[in-house]
């Protein structure tokens, strides 16, 4: 063997020696409970989706999967904590389309949603519904827009935080319709909705699972949906596109991500457990009952979704000069 080949062989053996402990660790993963950071308050749409999935994952991975709510700043606080966690597979983060929106509306995010995570897989996607309190004084989108034009800045709307999906969609509505609403940001969807129900704020954009119980109870009225087709359960409610606001056609997705550098074998194990969980009829029925369409994606497919959506929202928010304040 010539000296150069001998040197390459030695380097290769050294690399294998260094890699062996890491590989051994992944063989025994998971050996302790797994934490999932949910960057929204308890009781919100993220929380309602993650907790039943966590129960299924606990059974399949044979370790507790514990939900930890870390709300605030349009999901930024919890997502930042997830990006900064050890890349050992024991801290995961519930990520979503809202993170790709934040990449466009915040100038100095403390993480890069595309580059700072090893994305594992999607969970599902849901529409966004614009709802108002039943006694708000407008029974349709046309009435809301007419009143907003007559009284600029007098109608307020709640969101789960600056840079959230609800914030962006109402910003798009204002620009498209030529109206001005007053933004009231909260530290999550649950407290925002509570103030709408309590009469403090008039308008909010929320996922179906959040809205449906209050619509059925007669407390909220649904004015428009963000999907390309009308919802079969509410066939008289128009889509945003039908109202002339095609940019507001979105399905807001969520998934699971791990810190960048998490071993690929662990990422694949979690992805397989997610796919098996989402195949179970009881979980699918629960998610679909909450208005969510389950999604099964490989890590590569989910990573591409995150990347492409980040690019889409950065371009759109910059073209409209939408910034979180």
By C-alpha distance, which of 186, 129, 125, 123 is closest to 156? 186
Domain CATH for 190:
3.40.190.10
- Contact between 250 and 165 (Cβ < 8 Å): yes
Residue 4, in any domain of the structure? no
CATH code of the domain covering residue 63: 3.40.190.150
- Of the candidates 248, 268, 286, which is a domain's last residue? 248
Q: Give the total number of structural domains in the chain.
A: 2
Cα 117 → chain centroid? 15
For residue 19, is pLDDT > 60?
A: no
Cβ atoms of residues 42 and 86 within 8 Å: no
In a domain, 24, yes or no: no
Q: Is 182 within a domain?
A: yes
Position 4 confidence tier, pLDDT thresholds 50, 70, 90? very low
- Residue range of the domain that includes 82: 32-125+252-320
Among the ranges given (11-25, 65-79, 116-130, 302-316), the one the predictor scored with the smallest mean pLDDT: 11-25
Length of the chain: 325
Whether residues 242 and 303 share a domain: the answer is: no
Q: What whole-number distance in Å separates Cα of residue 324 and Cα of residue 134?
A: 29
Is the residue at 219 inside a domain?
yes
pLDDT tens digits, one per residue of 220-229: 999 999 988 8
7 located within any domain = no
Distance CA 75, CA 159 (A): 12
Each residue of 213-248: pLDDT tens digit?
Answer: 999 999 999 999 998 889 888 999 999 999 999 989
| Prediction pTM value | 0.77
Regarding whether 270 and 194 lie in a shared domain, the answer is: no
In a domain, residue 12? The reply is no
Same domain, 147 and 295: no
Confidence of residue 13 (pLDDT cuts 50, 70, 90): very low
Q: Tell me: the pLDDT tens digits for 49-87?
A: 999 999 999 999 999 999 999 998 878 999 999 999 999
């Amino acid at each position: 063997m010539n000296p150069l080949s001998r040197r390459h062989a030695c380097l290769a053996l050294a690399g294998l020696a260094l890699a062996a402990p890491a590989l051994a660790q992944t063989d025994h993963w998971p050996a302790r409970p797994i934490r999932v950071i949910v960057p929204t308050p308890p009781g919100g749409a993220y929380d309602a989706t993650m907790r039943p999935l966590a129960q299924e994952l606990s059974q399949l991975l044979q370790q507790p999967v514990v939900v930890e709510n870390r709300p605030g700043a349009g999901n930024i606080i919890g997502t930042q904590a997830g990006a900064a966690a050890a890349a050992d597979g024991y801290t995961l983060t519930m990520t979503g389309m809202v993170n790709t929106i934040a990449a466009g509306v915040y100038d100095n995010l403390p993480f890069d949603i595309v580059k700072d995570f090893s994305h594992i897989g999607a969970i599902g996607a849901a529409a966004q519904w614009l709802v108002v309190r039943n006694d708000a004084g407008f029974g349709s989108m046309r009435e809301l827009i007419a009143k907003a034009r007559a009284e600029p800045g007098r109608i307020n709307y709640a969101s789960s935080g600056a840079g959230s999906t609800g914030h962006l969609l109402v910003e798009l509505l204002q620009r498209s319709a030529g109206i001005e609403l007053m933004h009231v940001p909260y530290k999550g969807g649950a407290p925002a909705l509570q103030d709408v129900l309590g009469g403090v704020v008039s308008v909010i954009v929320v996922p179906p699972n959040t809205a449906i119980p209050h619509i059925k109870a007669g407390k909220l009225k649904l004015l428009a949906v963000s999907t390309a087709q009308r919802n079969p359960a509410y066939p008289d409610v128009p889509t945003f596109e039908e109202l002339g606001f095609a940019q507001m056609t979105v399905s807001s997705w969520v998934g699971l991500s791990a810190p960048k550098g998490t071993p690929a074998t662990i990422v694949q194990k979690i992805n397989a457990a997610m796919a098996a969980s989402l195949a179970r009829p009881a979980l699918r029925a629960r998610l679909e009952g909450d208005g969510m369409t389950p999604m099964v994606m490989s890590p590569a497919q989910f990573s591409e979704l995150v990347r492409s959506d980040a690019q889409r929202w950065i371009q759109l928010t910059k073209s409209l000069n939408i910034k979180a304040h």
